[in-house]
Amino acid sequence: MSPRSRTGELEQAVLETLWSAGAPSSGREVHEKLADRDLAYTTVMTVLDRLVAKDLVVRERDGRAFRYAPRLTRAAMTAELMHEALEVTGADRDQALVSFVGEASADDLAALRRALADLG
């Protein structure tokens, strides 16, 4: 799998913070939102830099600092991860999809049916 498809727990928490913000955030703002984790500011900045390198977050200059935003919505990132997972299955792609659907909850199956109906 590509490096983008794997995020650590702290990287995921930073992404969640950026998605919740709804607008580009400074490193300081992200750090403040994660205050309950007792993280150093430099740790948050390192994670943001890692997410930029993985192309999961975009960075734009704002004066002397930067503002960060997720490159994709939660839904789009989930879809991208699913596509990446299917790409590595090769010939087992059909079986992987059957297995996924076989283990899906009733709510997930209903959502999948709705999505397929909307496409067709």
In terms of pLDDT, which residue wins out, 86 or 35? 35
Q: Is the pLDDT of residue 2 over 80?
A: no
**Residue 69 has what pLDDT?**
98
**Residue 100 has what pLDDT?**
86
String of DSSP letters for 13-73? HHHHHHHHH-S-EEHHHHHHHTGGG---HHHHHHHHHHHHHTTSEEEEEETTEEEEEESS-
**Residue 108 has what pLDDT?**
92
**Residue 97 has what pLDDT?**
86
Q: pLDDT for 52-91, tens place per residue?
A: 999 999 999 999 999 999 999 999 998 888 888 888 777 6
One of 3.30.450.80, 1.10.10.10, 3.40.50.720, 3.40.50.920 is the CATH number of 3-70, namely 1.10.10.10
Residues forming beta bridges with residue 67, ordered by sequence position? 26, 60
Q: Is the pLDDT of residue 110 over 80?
A: yes
Q: How confident is the model at residue 1 (pLDDT cuts 50, 70, 90)?
A: very low
